[in-house]
Amino acid sequence: MSLYVRIVGDWVEDCWDTPPPEGQEGWKNAIEVRPAIIPHRQGYTAHTFDISKDPVEIVYGTFDILVDDRKTSMKQNAGFAFNTLLQQMANNPDNYDAAALQIAKDAIAPKQAAIDACTTHDELDALM
C-alpha cells in the first residue's frame, strides 16, 4: 500500500493512503517500518515519523506483553463461547436452556484453570 505524508515545517501535517491532490506542495512518499515482533509476546507502540529520510519512514516501536496480561486475554477468549450463548439466551428467553448453559460454563473452568497455572509465555504457548 502506498502512503503519503505532507510536511509543513518540521512536522507531518497529514498522512494519507491515497495520492494527494494535484498542486498541493509538501507531500512525500512514506513507508512503514515495523520491527519484527514475537507473536503473543510483543506488540507495536504508536508510530513516529523520520522526515529526514526519503521516503519518509513511519517507524513503530515494540513493547513486551506481560504474562499476566496475556493470561487475562486468554481467559477472556476461553469464556467467549459461554458469553455468546448467554447473550443469545438473554436476547430470546424462549430459547433458555439451563443444561446447555451449564455445559458451556463447565467447559470453561478447566481451560481457565490451565491458564491460571501458567507462569511463563512458553507455558501459555503450549496451551494454544
Residues 6 or more apart whose CB falls under 8 angstroms from that of 103 comprise none
Average pLDDT, the chain: 93
CA-atom Rg of the chain in angstroms: 23
pLDDT bin (cut points 50, 70, 90) of residue 29 is very high
Question: What percent of the chain stands above pLDDT 70?
Answer: 100
- Segments making up each domain of the chain, as ranges: 3-64, 67-127
The distance from CA 118 to its chain's CA centroid, rounded to whole angstroms, is 22
Burial of 117 (0-12, 13-18, 19+ CB in 10 A): exposed
CB environment 54-77: b (16+ within 10 A), e (fewer): eebbbbbeeeebebeebbeebbee
Is the pLDDT at 106 greater than 80? The verdict is: yes
